[in-house]
Structure 1
Amino acid sequence: MENRGYACNTKVGSAMDVDHCQQKEEEEEQEDPFLKFVDYARSELLSLEGDRNKDDDGSDGLGWSWIVSRILKTCIAYSSGVTPAILLSELSQAWSEQRWVGAPKKPLELINHLKKNHRRTKLPNTVTIDSIYAKNFLSLNSVLEAVIIDAFVLPGTNIHMLTLGDYWSSNIIDVYLHRRFYDLTGLQNGILKRGREIFLTGCYLRTATGGSGHPRLLPTEYLVILLDENQDDDAMLLGAQFCSDPFSSISLDAVNRGASYSLYARIEKIESSEIHRKFETLQRKQITLVDGDGVKLKFFLWGEQILLANLFRVGSMLALDKPYVNISVDCDTETSEDLCLEYGSETQLYLVPYIQHEEQVCVTLTPNRRHGSRPLGSFNSSQDLKFSQVSLPRDSQGTIDFSNYPFRSFVVDLRIKMTGISLYGAVTDIIKEENNQQTVFSLRIADTSGEIWTKLHFARFWSLGRVSFGHTVYISGLTCTMSKQKCLEVLWFENDIGASFINLSCLPALINSSCLHKLSRLTDIFYQTSYAQLLSYNF
């Protein structure tokens, strides 16, 4: 289906008049800020998805009406106004969740592959992603031992996101990446990438709102990247960046001149302490590190930073990039130059976890013990619904569901046996059907291709005071049928699945969001009124 030009409401007129009408209306349509943002958002989502998710016939399956509905749903949730970043973030999350429908039940192949080499025991405060969804809660001292499933940038923004899974959950969750880690996601090193294991703590849970379908984790700066010395890339990183600076080479004078260090040491001891000051008591974690030469140095965590200690275990190897070097009065005689390390604003932490090797013994099962594993939920790839421009669901009566049609539907496109239709246009007439037990209104909707009457069946009394002539409305869930008079009729029922009626002209968020509307000058009102009279004039 294609967008056919605007049909002027003139009975007689020259070809030039018709062409002028078509050109003028097309220009006005192109200038509609809301529709321009819909097209922009769609292109951003498609660029995020890439060609790999397109259907065989070249269609992407990203429905135009779906995008409009999500944008308006977000506007209702954020009545004070929205920005392109908010809208694109919500659209990206909703689309990502829709693509994962059914997939969380399936064991992720990436995690299953990594699980073969997973020999660590859980850290004391570890929680699973499944438990976060079950409780809809996450405490600050909880630890997530996660695997990066995907790393991406929210379309239209510079906000970096990570999609995380873990070894014990069937669900996944997104986290906003803290800006101190943005340099680790670029092409230059790309350490935070698919398949990388990370520990994180100090997370706040952003629960689902009116515009969001699932919870997300807010940014946390308490994140540690796991390295594997058996992997060539990680071994090269450790050897090239962290093994050249022993503790004995640290000089406070060099630090004051702008020098920075990358250090690698074993965690020997983790201790808690308190520092009492005049008006406060400050919590502190003291971590004793030992480098390859046997030199010891203290690594201090202060205040909220002590959450990082939840990610450490005695015996693990810790790599510190650009730690803050300071003088400590608490250092003993074994330390180097009475210096200590702290977690500074530029510090990055990498961890080679300590794995306790245990001897395997064979145990004979008692007669009453049953063994075996319960299979995880299966996933049928055919359940992943795919839609395209030419392949849409059809029922036994031949009715076609257009709710996932990739492009906008216009009045001129409407045909009998079409359902799930969405219309975006202006109200040109309103009629209340008096001789009906239900609350039924007939609205004449006009878009750039023509006009049509839509019969709206409301489940309860609905006030027409919110809709007036000239208001822009969006209606989804429409069905096209043939009336008794053999004319095309468009019906809408409020309780039908996917049915919505939104008056954009009375939506506060639209008025407060500069990306979705444009300001009109007073001088334009006269021209628009005169032009409307010209279109309705009967020659």
Structure 2
Amino acid sequence: MESAATASADGAAFLEFVDYAISMLSPPGGDGDGYESPGDGPAPPRPPWAWAVAQLLKSCCAYSSGVTAAILISDLFQSWTEQRKSLTSKRKVEVTKLINTRNKRRRLPNTVTIDSIREKNFFSPKNVLEAVVIDVFVLPGTNIYMLTLGDMWSASTIDLYLHRRYYDCIGQNGILNKGREVMLTGCCLRTAMEGSGHARILPTEYMVIILDEDRDEDAMLLAVQFCTYSFSSLILEENINNIPYSFYARIEKIESLEPFGCTERKQITLADNDEAKIKLILWGEQVSLANLFSVGSMLALDRPFIANFIDNNHEESQELCLEYGSATQVYMVPIAQQEEQVPFTPTQVKSQGPRLSCVLTDNTASQVTLPRDLHGSVDFSKYPFRVYVSDLHDRMVGVSLFGTVTSVCKTSASGTFYLELEDTTGVILMKLIFIGPWSLGRVGVGHMVYISGLICTLSSTNIREVSWREKEPGSLFVNLSLLPALLNSTCLHSLSPLSDLPHSTNRTYVCRVRLDRIDFDSLKVLLFHNICGCVVHEHSGGLQCSFCKCACQSGCAHGFQLHLAITDASAKVFAWCVGQTAVEFLQISPDEYLELPEDERAMYLYALQNENFMVAIANASKRVNDCAMNDGLPVWEITRAQRCE
């Protein structure tokens, strides 16, 4: 097994900074308490590795012109403090006596606390609030109902203007009363103005009322109202929506559909007690309601709108589906969170070195408790350490990998690509599934990338299958080799001489170089696809992208493909670059260059010699022919460049 220094060679200084940042946020003399469940229990003192990387990369993207170690640590500390506060703060309001804590459930993605809403004076429509009703009252002088909400992580409460679609749930016999748990999203905040009291949440129709099957009144409601009809009882007829259908079903799958025109859609697959299945389709703003759903939870749907399903060709089929109509009411029985003990592998123990070895002298700290979903897959999004390719096995979700791209290409299936990733322990092929076209920008062989939200399973032939879906919760893809902050931030890289390049192919180098020469014949102005940054070719009388194989009659622009020689005191290297990197070297746009007379173009290129640059260099020697931008390119690609004095 490689040493810790060798194991981090693929990410060099960036991964070293990640470890440093985590150590700064971890208490001294870490112990077994750092490896407790990352669910609703006490917050672990050590930030999960994938969480820290994602937060640092978000800061790097926000500070594209460069960022200091102090700023990165400060941003990370603030995010970690807020997260720990939401997980560890004791409730100082009446919520403790009201909320049912028997069924431990996993917090939904994008969940915020009332304390954080009040502190920031902001509530994003994409956020989720899990709360309990403290009080129900009428706003004096009006007929407007208000709910006072509290949550189990906050010391304060907040008032909600109740949407009128829930007024039938209010009253002596209503279900929306003191002590009732609710989840809401799609919210806006009426901020506190001078002399106008405090901040309140404006009405939202995207609220789910939580039921408990062990609570007598809830069990009675489910039995009386939701157990009459099954999905097989639906009959296609004109007056189908005049029947007050109510269904009780399990959420089996939540996925995005191709947009209908410009309207976003989500599909929730439901299965009733007879295992009959039907789709619940959410349209437009309704898709935010899916933020409140979790696979395995039971959904009680009162008066859904029943329609014919519209497929990807925008044609109605004879298949019935459910929709969220104006009279629809949604209740939910959340699934209790399951957990599993996951031991640390030798890869993690070795890569962490003496720091972890001393911790593992206590047997209780040799494993971590992670959430498990309905299908038995374990969620590794809160795993304390880095996951390597060699650690991948069956039943893993929420996995994050850091490594170098060794191939990337499109399959014949629409929206499906394959990317091969290598780290210091091995190579893995992963399937990337997109809702629409490729959306990750330019990704080339040799580029250093971070990807999270991966799912790993074993096929029937015992082969590891890894997949990633665009825009799913926890999905993130960042190409570090193209990140401007990589060159501008000294804490994220260490300078290498050009003579070091042949010694390793599995990393992106950062070098300070001098432009030796650019040959006139080595510069081409080509058409590039704006979406993926790859060359566009003529195909069957039209234009087609060489990478994503889609028609490009529009959505493409002129760009440079440049061969050049760079040098420093140790060596000379022949390399190539495209797009904005080539513009940085040439200091001229493609359109401006094409306007120059041919003799002036040669003089212009000659005048660029001896300029100094900071560059990021990747090894592209493992290019797959189908994925290459062009034949005959040098081994080394300059992925990012910045002129310097």
TM-score range, shorter chain: 0.3 to 0.5
- Which structure has the larger Rg over C-alpha atoms? 1
**TM-score, normalised by the number of residues in structure 1:** 0.45
Relative contact order, higher structure (CA 8 A, sep 6+): 1
**TM-score, normalised by the number of residues in structure 2:** 0.38
